[in-house]
Amino acid sequence: MGVNFRNTVFFGIASDVSSCPDQNIPEVVFSGKSNAGKSSLVNALADNKRLARVSQTPGKTQSVVYFNVDRKFYIADLPGYGYARTSKEKKEKFSKLAEDYFTSGRKIDLVLHLMDIRHDPSAEDVGMLEFLNGSGLNYFVVFTKCDKFSRQQLNKRLGELSKILDFSEDAAVFAVSSEKKTGLDDLRSAIEEHLFG
Ligand SMILES: Nc1nc2c(ncn2[C@@H]2O[C@H](COP(=O)(O)OP(=O)(O)OP(=O)(O)O)[C@@H](O)[C@H]2O)c(=O)[nH]1
Ligand SMILES: [Mg+2]
């Protein structure tokens, strides 16, 4: 089919599940803790730094942000959990939106669960993977910010993480750097293969 990831455009935002767009094409959901690098990965995959808002301030993405990739599928960039700039109320709202997303009955073709490779997975990450394992949803585990490690450190770290985390046996695991643009081709191909292969 040949997905041109460079042809990715902003599609819209939704601040609750009922205002999410109609699903006429497949959907790939990016989930993970605030600051994990979700928005950066959207930009890196599309090779366009101006697409999704990235910030030093965690909690930037407060709604579901949709991107249309080459008119072939949507990326839904979920609000990161575990952080709120403002108030407790807002924090609960953000995480509720992320939670609701998976139980709303919306058709999700693939979940990319992102985790910063430098940090040990949070309780939410562990919970999310448990949920994914039991949900029947297809997911990829994506470790981000791998530029912080040498190749050797990276392999060691991946070994450690696979002991800490309960990946489903056929879950695909990727190691990427949005900054150094490594691991992106593998991830693009795997997404395309999963959706259209
Ligand atoms: N070194 C390095 N830093 C990265 C990488 N990807 C993202 N970052 C940094 O991590 C921070 C958070 O990135 P975002 O992409 O905004 O993270 P997010 O998951 O979208 O965060 P929320 O929108 O708060 O949920 C920013 O300061 C990025 O520059 C990477 O591959 N390498
Ligand atoms: Mg973001």
pLDDT of residue 100: 81
Confidence of residue 156 (pLDDT cuts 50, 70, 90): very high
Give domain limits for the chain.
8-196
Instruction: Specify which of 4-8, 85-89, 135-139 reaches the highest per-range mean pLDDT.
Output: 4-8
Confidence of residue 104 (pLDDT cuts 50, 70, 90): confident
Q: How many CA atoms lie within 13 A of 75 on its CB side?
A: 28
Confidence of residue 88 (pLDDT cuts 50, 70, 90): low
Confidence of residue 16 (pLDDT cuts 50, 70, 90): confident
* The pair of three-digit structure tokens given for residue 158, joined into one six-digit string: 């991946």
Ligand 1 pocket check for 113: Cβ under 6 Å: no
pLDDT of residue 55: 72
Q: Give me the percent of the chain exceeding a pLDDT of 70.
A: 86
Over residues 93-102, the mean pLDDT reads 72
Determine which of 32-41, 53-62, 82-91, 114-123 has the lowest per-residue pLDDT on average. Answer: 82-91
Cα–Cα nearest to 115, from 71, 73, 151, 160: 160
Ligand 1 center–CA 125 separation, angstroms: 16
Pocket test for ligand 1, best of 13, 54, 125 (most atoms within 8 A of CB): 54
Ligand 1 pocket check for 40: Cβ under 6 Å: yes
Q: Which residues surround ligand 2, an ion (CB under 5 A)?
A: 38-39, 61
pLDDT of residue 84: 44
pLDDT of residue 164: 84
Q: Which residue has the higher pLDDT, 130 or 40?
A: 40
Q: Across-strand partners of 141? A: 113, 173
Say how far apart CA 90 and CA 110 lie, in whole Å: 27
* Residue pLDDT, tens place only, 166-180: 766 667 999 999 999
Residue 182 pLDDT exceeds 90: yes
Ligand 1 pocket check for 31: Cβ under 6 Å: no
Ligand 1 pocket check for 43: Cβ under 6 Å: no
pLDDT of residue 17: 84
Question: What is the number of the ligand closest to the CA of 83?
Answer: 1
Q: Which residue has the higher pLDDT, 179 or 59?
A: 179
| Cβ atoms of 31 and 128 closer than 8 Å | yes
Ligand 1 pocket check for 57: Cβ under 6 Å: no
Residue spans of beta strands (DSSP E) within 42-120: 64-69, 73-77, 110-116
Pocket test for ligand 1, best of 29, 33, 39, 40 (most atoms within 8 A of CB): 40
pLDDT of residue 94: 53
Ligand 2 center–CA 57 separation, angstroms: 10
Q: Which CATH class is domain 8-196?
A: alpha beta
Quote the mean pLDDT of the chain.
88
Ligand 1 center–CA 38 separation, angstroms: 7
Pocket test for ligand 1, best of 29, 30, 31, 35 (most atoms within 8 A of CB): 35
